[in-house]
Structure 1
Amino acid sequence: MTDLRGSEAWFERVFGRASHPMAEMTKNQPASEDYPTDYSTFTPISDVLFDMIDPEKYVLDGVQQYASVDKPHLKGFGWYIDGIVGAYQSLRKVGVEMVGQQGQPADGDDPPTAPGSPMPIFFTVPASAGLRYEFLPQIPFPLDHRLAEGWEVPAVSDDDPLAIRQCSHHTVLTDQPARGLRVLVDALGGEVVHEGRNEVLGATSTYVHLADAVYEYAVPDQGTAAHDDWSLKAPDDTYHAITWQVADLDRAVKHLEAQGVGIRTRTNDTVVTDPETSLGIPWGFTTGLTPGDPRRA
């Protein structure tokens, strides 16, 4: 499934969450001339805003910005940045290469801006950073539920079929974890909170806490499904999975199976879905948080 409407329907059915196309935001106030608004749709899930993009509709000045795909896959992260000029300069200082929204090299003292706008926006180059990380200042964005005044991570809802508490962690597969750590730790000030084995994944992992989230940089063992996934994009890193902390694992599994989502792996406290039945992503669901996660306190 690679069409946005079908993906929206999947999130509604499996996660119990409604999605919101970007066009909702611009129906009363048109976007900049020639800027597409039909390429992206957003799904709020607890403390995460999930952005789905149709690459073939993401065209700026006649140039498709992302390669076409034949099946869905996670791609990268986007962060709001306080002091975005300082963050840009910090990334440059540690040798991270960046580009603007249309792929132009970002090699000046100031960050590039969006087409037709003074808003800074830039992206890391995967060969330098491992992944394409996006940076922009916090702006009014009606489709981001987390920007509401006084917003906090909500309590588990009785209506939530997966009983999601919050995002436990994001998993990036790599054979060069130092690239990701250079971005998150050296440039952005994140903290390594744990290093060790992830036996569910079959990997040796480093966990970084940054901005109330945890990121796992995992070097997968050969012969594992994770290694197979990483090899598809090697030598770049692969954004492999999102793992959710849930209040009731049995409740989550029962709902997933009822919706035709297969379980690839199950332990006492964690399940991982079969990506072939779950939008191309091996979603994780767990009752705990990663070792070292300061939210455990």
Structure 2
Amino acid sequence: MSDQDFHVTRLYHPSHHVTDLGEADAFFQRVFGRATRPMAEMTKDQPASPGYPTNYSQFTPINDVLFDTIDPKLYVLNGIQRYATVDKPHLKGLGWYLEGAVAAYRSLRRHNIEMVGQQDEVADSDDPPTAPGSPMPIFFTTPESAGLRYEFLPQIPFPLDHRLVEGWQLPPVSDDDPLGIEQASHHSILTDQPARALRLVVDALGGKVIHEGRNEVLGASSTYVHLADAVYEYAVPDAGTAAHADWSATAPNDTYHSITFKVVDLDRVARHLESQSVAIAKRTDDTIVTDPETSLGIPWGFTTRLTAGDPRSAK
């Protein structure tokens, strides 16, 4: 396999940092109608590597998204808490499965993107760092060079990822789904340096810009990129907006702000959110955005249309 021969296969998972895993579990059950599965399930048949914690994370399947919720206080590896404690929930980062992880790593290096390993060791050799006690490549971009801490790893068997079951396809909307979710529309990342983000997702990883324009709901000028199975919005928020305030908290790095899902019916969404005391911050003819103060720190979006240029709309 040459240095050019790699493929981003799918979004691995969004990461959400919370103050309490039990609260997050309850939220996804009552609002999304989805049950979470703790990482500890993975160690029933195959023990974790010595010293590796399994109590810090849980996963929620939401159609084509595997959502990872983390309590940073519990992620202690080799005696060091690897993520900063949070005082309120917030989306943190995301990552991708790869075919040809070594080639992808080298492509990132060629584009001057700095990386670290799982224990935050600087990744500056020709080969990527590996997981502790394992030969599996796993590496992360630094926010300073890529905007966010993005994760990369091979698409290995992962029993908590519902999408890796042989023959899995995007399911039809269930009558039991209180929100009527079809699929993820896009992931919104706030930035004042869109060129930095595009250097990663387009230049180094091979994503394609599918649309540029205003997002009046967010109050931003946005560039939308299709990469593998998902669409990413890199949005420059207007001053004075809630989005700008959210970005300012992590500036000059980027902020992973929200996830928007395509749904069959906005009225169905609104009724269910109201029944669960989730406030609606904004509503237009085709979009609802929740108040993050009542929705686990995330301004979840629900829309009846995909982004212009989204190639998935033809499927």
- Shorter-normalised TM range: over 0.9
Offset of residue 94 of structure 1: 0.5
Which amino acid in structure 2 is aligned with residue 251 of structure 1?
Answer: R
Matches within 5 A, 1:8-19: 8-19=25-36
Matched, 1:210 2:188: no
Matched, 1:69 2:86: yes
Offset of residue 67 of structure 1: 0.4
Q: Deviations over 1:97-128 (max 9, x none)?
A: 00000000000000000011111000000000
> For 1:48 and 1:209, how far apart are their aligned partners in 2?
15
Matched, 1:289 2:299: no
> For 2:44 and 2:165, how far apart are their aligned partners in 1?
20
> For 1:296 and 1:151, how far apart are their aligned partners in 2?
19
Which amino acid in structure 2 is aligned with residue 119 of structure 1?
Answer: M
Could you say which residue in structure 2 is the equivalent of 1:276?
293
Could you say which residue in structure 1 is the equivalent of 2:153?
136
Could you say which residue in structure 2 is the equivalent of 1:169?
186
> For 2:117 and 2:238, how far apart are their aligned partners in 1?
35
Aligned match of 2:251 in 222, 234, 255? 234
Matched, 1:34 2:67: no
Could you say which residue in structure 1 is the equivalent of 2:128?
111
Which amino acid in structure 1 is aligned with residue 223 of structure 2?
Answer: T
Matched, 1:194 2:194: no
> For 1:97 and 1:91, how far apart are their aligned partners in 2?
8
Which amino acid in structure 2 is aligned with residue 242 of structure 1?
Answer: I
Could you say which residue in structure 1 is the equivalent of 2:70?
53
Matched, 1:24 2:41: yes
> For 1:232 and 1:21, how far apart are their aligned partners in 2?
30
Matched, 1:267 2:288: no
Offset of residue 27 of structure 1: 2.1
> For 1:123 and 1:105, how far apart are their aligned partners in 2?
10
Which amino acid in structure 1 is aligned with residue 26 of structure 2?
Answer: A
Matches within 5 A, 1:218-229: 218-229=235-246
- Count of residues in correspondence between the two structures: 297
Matches within 5 A, 1:71-86: 71-86=88-103
The TM-score normalised by the length of structure 1 is: 0.99
Could you say which residue in structure 1 is the equivalent of 2:10?
none
Aligned match of 2:104 in 78, 83, 87? 87
> For 1:25 and 1:101, how far apart are their aligned partners in 2?
19
Could you say which residue in structure 1 is the equivalent of 2:166?
149
Aligned match of 2:142 in 125, 139, 155? 125
Unaligned runs of 5+ in 2: 1-17
Percent identity, aligned pairs only, is: 75
Could you say which residue in structure 2 is the equivalent of 1:257?
274
Q: Name the SS for the 2:122 alignment partner.
A: coil
> For 1:79 and 1:212, how far apart are their aligned partners in 2?
10
Offset of residue 28 of structure 1: 2.7
Cα RMSD for the two superposed structures:
0.7
Q: Deviations over 1:48-101 (max 9, x none)?
A: 000011101101111111100000100111211000001000000000000000
Regions of 4+ moved over 2 Å: none
Could you say which residue in structure 1 is the equivalent of 2:7?
none
Could you say which residue in structure 2 is the equivalent of 1:98?
115
Unaligned runs of 5+ in 1: none
Which amino acid in structure 1 is aligned with residue 222 of structure 2?
Answer: S
Which amino acid in structure 2 is aligned with residue 20 of structure 1?
Answer: R
> For 1:28 and 1:83, how far apart are their aligned partners in 2?
28
The TM-score normalised by the length of structure 2 is: 0.93
> For 1:115 and 1:179, how far apart are their aligned partners in 2?
30
> For 2:145 and 2:205, how far apart are their aligned partners in 1?
15
Offset of residue 29 of structure 1: 2.1
Q: Name the SS for the 2:239 alignment partner.
A: coil
> For 1:150 and 1:179, how far apart are their aligned partners in 2?
36
